[in-house]
Amino acid sequence: NAGVMQNPRHLVRRRGQEARLRCSPVKGHSHVYWYRQLPEEGLKFMVYLQKENIIDESGMPKERFSAEFPKEGPSILRIQQVVRGDSAAYFCASSPAQRGTDTQYFGPGTRLTVL
């Protein structure tokens, strides 16, 4: 009975490198959300995806960040040319249907440290 899985759990990158964060949703869930949590802050919504589609990316920075949820395989959050300010915990959540009435199931997070 696997929940949401994220890997890696910890990721260290130097400034200018790329970071790739993976999220496997709960089996059967087709809705994925990515969130970012800065130190001592609450969660901030970044992007909402369904299979092969980005539904809402209003919370994602316009540059360097991208997300995908292919037909096969995990959802990927990609950060290009990382900067120190990208250091944060990134959480993925999945749900069986859309918003409002549905519970989101969160993964354990990936903690990104940019040196």
Contacting positions for other proteins (CB under 8 A): 4, 33, 35, 40-48, 55-56, 58-59, 91, 93, 98-101, 103-109
Nearer to other proteins among residue 18 and residue 56 (C-beta): 56
**Cβ 37 to other proteins shortest distance, Å:** 8
Tokens of 52: 């092969």
Q: Are 89 and 25 in contact (CB under 8 A)?
A: no
Our measurement of the distance from residue 19's CA atom to the centroid of its chain's CA atoms, rounded to an integer in Å, reads 11
**Cβ 16 to other proteins shortest distance, Å:** 28
Q: Are 37 and 48 in contact (CB under 8 A)?
A: no
DSSP SS3 for 43: strand
**Cβ 78 to other proteins shortest distance, Å:** 18
